[in-house]
Amino acid sequence: SQTIHQWPATLVQPVGSPLSLECTVEGTSNPNLYWYRQAAGRGLQLLFYSVGIGQISSEVPQNLSASRPQDRQFILSSKKLLLSDSGFYLCAWKDYRDYGTGELFFGEGSRLTVL
């Protein structure tokens, strides 16, 4: 069966510090991968998605970046965090064969507080 894990679960970072959130998927190959952010009391905002190694699409301009160094690994990074980067970050995957129809499976989420 397929599983998805992301870490860390919780982190508190000062403004201007770097960020690295990691997500891995097991039990499937060539998944479509996604990073979402959810600000307090808000909906899910799609940040990045990837359909293959090294292929990253950015949805919104920001000081965040994403990388996919391996097929089932997706990393969200920042060189310098802003207060507005605080939120609940969710990694998700979908079967690449389920174009537009597949269920999205979410990781446990990472809660980031920037002080």
Partner 1 sequence: GQNIDQPTEMTATEGAIVQINCTYQTSGFNGLFWYQQHAGEAPTFLSYNVLDGLEEKGRFSSFLSRSKGYSYLLLKELQMKDSASYLCAPSGYKLSFGAGTTVTVRA
Binding site for partner 1 (CB under 8 A): 32, 34, 36, 42-44, 46, 49, 51, 59, 88, 90, 94, 99-101, 103-109, 111
**Residue among 17 and 102 whose Cβ is closer to partner 1:** 102
Give phi and psi for 85, each to the nearest 5. -80, -10
Least Å from the CB of residue 71 to partner 1: 18
Q: CA-CA distance, 16 to 53, in Å (whole number)? A: 29
**Residue among 14 and 40 whose Cβ is closer to partner 1:** 40
CA distances to 7, 15, 49, 78 from 55, in Å: 22, 29, 8, 18
Q: CA-CA distance, 74 to 31, in Å (whole number)? A: 11
**Residue among 53 and 104 whose Cβ is closer to partner 1:** 104
Least Å from the CB of residue 63 to partner 1: 21
